[in-house]
Amino acid sequence: MSKRKKKPEGSSGDPTRKRLPGNAPCPCDSGKKYKHCCYDKGFEYLVDEEGNIFKSVPMTDEVREVIEEQKRKFIEKFGREPEGDENLFFDMPPLEHAEHFMVEGMKQAGLDPAIIYAFEKTGLLVTEMNEHLISDKDRAEWEAAVLEYRAKHGDDAPEEDEEDELF
Ligand SMILES: [Zn+2]
């Protein structure tokens, strides 16, 4: 993948978000209270100050394993534990790696593959929440990537006809 300076805007944790109260109706539409439904299902529902609900997928065992493995490698190479904010992923490009985790998380959250593709391609994550913060150019790039995926995989988009050469 090519190098980019861009960071995925607005895709990081938002401090105004809090875990949904247990007595709230579960956002999965089960009709049950959150605490009796999705509370322990391996992800969290978060709510921001405006009452918008987000699904948050925490680190999976797989991700934790990768981190443990990297720690072992670090100790092997440097003969000591990593300190402070030292880059645990010393042997790979950090951005790519962070992205890999994001992508895994997105897949687990059942995100639209076109969105995942667009994220991998543009390094952006455009959502209804942050689209007003994103420049027109970046948004156009993002939308093009989403459309490109749909065109390739024929997801929602109508099948593209083979172009016939007409004489
Ligand atoms: Zn639920």
Measure 67 CA to ligand 1 centroid, in angstroms.
Answer: 30
Question: What secondary structure does DSSP assign to 50-102, as a single string?
Answer: T--EEEE----HHHHHHHHHHHHHHHHHHSS---TT--TTTTS-HHHHHHHHH
Q: How far apart are the C-alpha atoms of 129 and 133, rounded to whole Å?
A: 9
Domain ranges of the chain: 10-56
How far does the centroid of ligand 1 lie from the alpha carbon of residue 140, in Å? 35
pLDDT in tens, the chain (167 residues): 444 444 443 444 567 888 899 999 999 889 999 999 998 887 888 898 888 888 887 666 777 787 788 888 889 988 998 877 677 666 665 566 677 777 888 888 888 889 888 888 888 888 777 888 888 888 999 999 999 999 988 755 444 454 555 55
Residue 159 is predicted with a pLDDT of 47
Of 103, 125, 110, 114, residue with least CA distance to 147: 114
Q: What is the pLDDT of residue 30?
A: 92
Neighbours of ion ligand 1 (CB under 5 A): 26, 28, 30, 37-38
Q: Is 13 left (phi over 0), alpha (psi -120 to 50) or beta?
A: beta
Question: One-letter amino acid identity for 127?
Answer: T
How far, in Å, is the centroid of ligand 1 from the Cα of 25? 8
CB 41 within 8 A of CB 26: no
Question: From the CA of 9, how far away is ligand 1's center (Å)?
Answer: 29
Q: What angle do CA 47, 6, 60 make, to 5 degrees?
A: 45
Helix (H) or strand (E) holding 19: strand 18-19
Residue 51 CA to ligand 1 centre (angstroms): 17
pLDDT score at 15: 72
Distance 124 CA to ligand 1 centre (A): 29
Report how far ligand 1's centroid is from the alpha carbon of 57 (Å): 14
Q: How far apart are CA 115 and CA 47, in angstroms?
A: 22
Residue 45, beta-bridge partner list: 55
Beta strands 44-47; 18-19: pairing state: antiparallel
What's the gap in Å between 112 CA and the centre of ligand 1? 20
